[in-house]
Amino acid sequence: MARTTRWSRWSRWGLGALGVAFGCVAYLYLTIPDVRVLVSRDPDTTAYIELRRDEAHDEGRSFTLRRRWVPYNRISAQLKRAVIVAEDSAFFEHEGLDYEQIRESIEDSLEDGGAMRGASTITQQLAKNLYLSPSRNPLRKLRELIITRRLESALTKRRILEIYLNSIEWGDGIFGCEAAARAYFGKSAAQLGASEAALLAGAIINPRVHSPAKPTRRLLRRQQIILRRMGGADPPAAVPAGAPAGAPAAPAPPPDMPPPASPSS
């Protein structure tokens, strides 16, 4: 009789746990944003913009947003190459999650005894910037993974990169490549050269610490490594002007810089 009672208790707990798990998954799916609207609509704001705005309000500071959307065709190919090299060299090879990079990050973290780092793809970063917070809450991370997969299913790589370059943070109130190019170099994103692009790409790791206006030694080292690797990255080609949505891209131009040398250790 006692054994039957214990089995009944464990059964109730098991069913309860399954119910909670099902409820969590259902909640996540019901509250995940519909990313399909991004196929034809540019996001007006991002979760990170609103986060910085709220932080400034709580600290009694004014918040001036500098952001100007530019289409993919008006972003320097050098910047696209630099960002892919710096943030997600396997961008064209994965479907949102770079499992090899995740494995290497876990191994490095176990050796160092620290937290996992350096495993987020461009699509994961976009999911986080558009919709989420910097929290390390496991449910937030699960939402990030679900949104990442939906972004990859709904959008082309070219569109993902376009939204990413127009949305990420590049300094205090500076969001997107056009605002960053004008703030730091006094030119448009279309006019950025290789050195400027590599400096901007190197700052993405922590734009509130590494400013292209006053580059740290670490940022300058990252710039040089990125420059040496950029020749091997070909971004998605631009769509010809006036072409309908979904039209095939024009052939990508060859890199206009010398072949990459082996990066320094």
pLDDT tens digits for range 166-216: 999 999 999 999 999 999 999 999 999 999 999 999 999 999 999 999 999
pLDDT of residue 240: 59
Does this model's pTM top 0.85? My answer is no
Does residue 249 have a pLDDT over 50?
Answer: no
Does residue 239 have a pLDDT over 80?
Answer: no
Confidence at 136, pLDDT banded by 50, 70, 90: confident
3-6, long-range: CB < 8 A, 24+ apart: none
Query: Domain 42-57+64-232 has what CATH class?
Result: mainly alpha
